[in-house]
Chain A
Amino acid sequence: MFIGVTGYNHESSAALVDRNGVLVDFYREESLSRIKGDKSFPKMSIRKILCTNNLKVKDIERVAFYERPLSAFLHIVKEASMHMPKSLDLLTHQFRNFNRSSVSCYLDFAKFFKGLESKLIYSDHHLSHTLTALAYSDSKEDISSVVIDGFGDRSTASISQIVDPTEINELWECPYPVSLGLFYSSITDYLGFAINEGEYKVMGLASFGDSNSKSAKLVRGLMDWDSNSNKIISDMSYFDYHLSISKSYSSKLEELLGPARNPFVQLIPGNNDFQRCADIARGAQDLMIYLLGKIFTHAHKITHSRRFLFSGGVSMNSASIDSLAQLPFVDKIIIPPSPGDAGCAIGAAFYCYIKSSSYHHLKIEKPSLFPSQKEKRNDEFLTEQIISNEFSYLERDEDYAFLKAAELISEGKVIGTVLSRSETGPRALGNRSLICDGKNMNAVKNLNTVIKNRSSFRPTAPAMRYEIAEKYYKLRPEIYDCYKSMSATCKCLKDNVSSEFPTTHVDSTARIQIVEKNSYLYKLLSKLEPMGIEILANSSLNVSGDPTAFDLIDGLMVCLRTDLRYLLTDLGLLIRKT
């Protein structure tokens, strides 16, 4: 058995791969600790992996950490040291927290899982991303990998050519501090949203902006592609992320674009500062799409490949994938369901496996979108009193529960789901979701604002079968797999009713989910379609600011903390007592 682990810099997680190249289990630490974006050493995840799969430390052959800790540390220090004394705070912080950086992962293993530390090996950060993406690709040979994130352990973007899983040659890199990911995060920060979380909001906001506005053009000019040297160029004087611990943009950016936004002031369409913020977001999104196009074009030029793996935090920018699919040389783009750092644990676990004697030619099984083992723990027993005091059963039998849920949805109700295994990635695909009739304006509004308390400028995703999606949206076969994990948006067909759907964004796009056969949403839709409902609005089951619900208790808690009344679970359909 092989374990892969991430942590310290971004969301931590742990994954388990067996000797046959099968991903057996995976947990994000935030799911278990309930601390969103938890980046501490993933002790709960590793413990859960060992416990759920009946494993002892001796059963683990190798453990891989997803990056080279000292390299990550030194690159940041080296860059900051070039800008003293301005960067002195950052340097002081780096040195003082040396023992809390990923350099201490060896010691943490020794402390929490005695014996595992001696089995520890290290992968490259971008290699871990690549291997994660490769696992989800049907073909494991002759494919190009594009990784773009904030910062890995030496570069911020890279292109490699995968000959086969044992030969992955890096051909191009973008050295720190120039970074497309950190640029987008800086704009996120400037717009008053939290880094690593608010990027989705910037993306949603961009749709309200005007590419020809002054603000958008100014942002658009902050970075460029130099076609002579094939490098991303950036005027670093607008950014402070490489010099400061608390601020990612510089005062020069504020001189250029006006004052940053106060994070506590709500951003509402129509309000005074809204348009300026939306235009800035538009500029950032335009620049993102432009540079991604350049990077992919270069990737094609140097690898001659027409098939691409795309991973790293930037690949979560679902609004830019549709334009990438239109590049003339693209046959296929694969984005793993968890393309950010949390997903790297999967790549790191596969790294152990491929480096071991168990690996035989291309024997890597494509994981499903729901990897964690079903909880062995008896939910029914533990939640017995919570349910009997606060809830009633509407239906216990699975088929009837689904039918009843379908009826409620057709009446405009919002339903929460806690079914079987939790999703691998950040998007809820039906097992930990809040769902309602995707064409019912009031229901969607209720889901969005009353229950989720989401900003009004963020769209909700519609979920449906492929045949239904074809009727309404311009789908691109190159990114078909991306639709399954909500990784790409698409345009509504011209003069089509879909532009009026409540799940359609102002720019006539939607982040659709094509529902996989044999999934719970598919089952639910099969009951709904005869009732005339073919599209569900689908959002993650959580209270705003919290991680997505992981187990039944989390789901029940969402009901008690919000106006959500119905919960479809493995135990049956529950209704909250009023």
Chain B
Amino acid sequence: MKKINSELTIFFETAHAELASALEMLAVCKETDSPKQAFGYFMHAKDEYSHAKSFFNMLSLRGKSASIETARDFRFTPPSLITKGYISQKGFLIETMQLKDFIAFVYTNELLAKSSFEKILTLVGRSTEEGKRISGIMADELRHHGMAKKHFLIHYPALQPWQLMIYRTKETLNNKGRKIYDANLKFLDRLLTPLYRIMAFLAGTISKKLNLNEFKRKGKNLMNISTKSIL
């Protein structure tokens, strides 16, 4: 039971990540002023969409044999891309980042993505059909990485490969940091949940006494109710 849960989690989360990166690429594609770059990002987005589809298929294959309760938890709803933090509440990266930083971000993340697929590859087995598909995805990521690198050097020739290394180290640390932060947050969350529940209980006890009847609208002209009232 626990095993299937953790397996489903891996495919579920990876599918989210791949879909989010498809949307990020599509956003840059529409944002750029160069038809050539638009084409590059367009094809990159297409790859990421197809990666996401593969992981959703792998998820659905396993979901069929899970209990209904478990399966329900792994039903994908697109807005969770935002609530789970795969896409920022602030908007797509291209809206909040310089293009240069964005390329560096892609450069490093493609490599990091590739390494995380290694783990999944072990899980499904290298020689299985799924294993072959994942190897294909890993080859895509390596290609994306190469493209990003080339792109970066064309547009910023003054930057040397070693400077990209710095970017990469920075992003790796950031990623690790994110993971640690995430783990801490989860820990903190577990710690605080009872407290939150007590607070919710108290607030609930007060809410019980709320009388919302005076805000009823029956018989009223809805166009005459204060435009400033949030209640």
Contact = CB atoms under 8 A, between A and B. Distances in A.
Interface string B51-76: 00000000110011010100111111
Contacts of A94: 200
Nearest to A38: B79
A61 B170 CA distance: 46
B160 interface: no
Contacts of A386: 35, 38-39, 42
Nearest to B38: A382
Contact of B75 (A43, A194, A354): A194
Interface in A36-90: 36-40, 43-44, 64, 68-71, 74-75, 77-78, 80-82, 84-85, 87-88
A194 B92 CA distance: 25
B230 A84 contact: no
B197 interface: yes
A561 B50 contact: yes
Contact of A95 (B45, B200, B221): B200
B225 interface: yes
Interface in A217-251: 246-247
B68 A259 contact: yes
Interface string B75-117: 1111101100001010110000000000000000000000000
Given A68-B231, A383-B38, A36 B91 contact: no
A294 interface: no
- By secondary structure, the B interface counts as helix
A495 interface: no
A96 B225 contact: no
A114 to B, nearest CB: 15
Contact of A262 (B36, B63, B220, B228): B63
Nearest to B196: A92
Contact of A166 (B74, B76, B219, B223): B223
Interface in A470-495: none
Interface stretch (A167-175, A406-414, A442-450, A500-508): A167-175
A385 B223 CA distance: 52
A384 B35 CA distance: 6
A37 B77 contact: yes
Contacts of B64: 262, 264-265
B207 A77 contact: yes
B26 to A, nearest CB: 6
A557 B45 contact: yes
Contacts of B210: 74, 77-78, 81
Contacts of A71: 212, 215, 230-231
B158 interface: no
Interface in A335-386: 354-355, 381-386
Contact of B230 (A35, A70, A82, A197): A70
B227 A122 contact: yes
A329 B38 CA distance: 57
A36 B78 CA distance: 6
Contact of B222 (A37, A43, A168, A389): A168
Contacts of B78: 35-38, 545
Chain A interface extent, by class: 35 or more
Contacts of B87: 33, 35
A37 B68 contact: no
Contact of B218 (A103, A172, A355): A172
Contacts of A35: 23, 78-79, 81-82, 87
Contacts of B220: 169-170
B203 interface: yes
A91 interface: yes
B3 interface: no
A170 B218 CA distance: 5
A91 to B, nearest CB: 4
Contacts of B30: 382, 551, 553
B123 to A, nearest CB: 18
Contacts of A75: 212
Contacts of B228: 121-122
B230 A127 contact: no
B208 interface: yes
A33 to B, nearest CB: 7
A95 B199 CA distance: 9
A170 B222 contact: yes
Given A68-B231, A74-B207, A154-B216, 5 more contacts: A44-B91, A71-B215, A171-B219, A262-B63, A386-B42
18 contacts: A35-B87, A37-B79, A39-B79, A40-B82, A68-B230, A81-B205, A88-B197, A88-B204, A95-B196, A124-B217, A154-B217, A169-B219, A171-B218, A172-B218, A264-B59, A382-B30, A383-B38, A385-B38
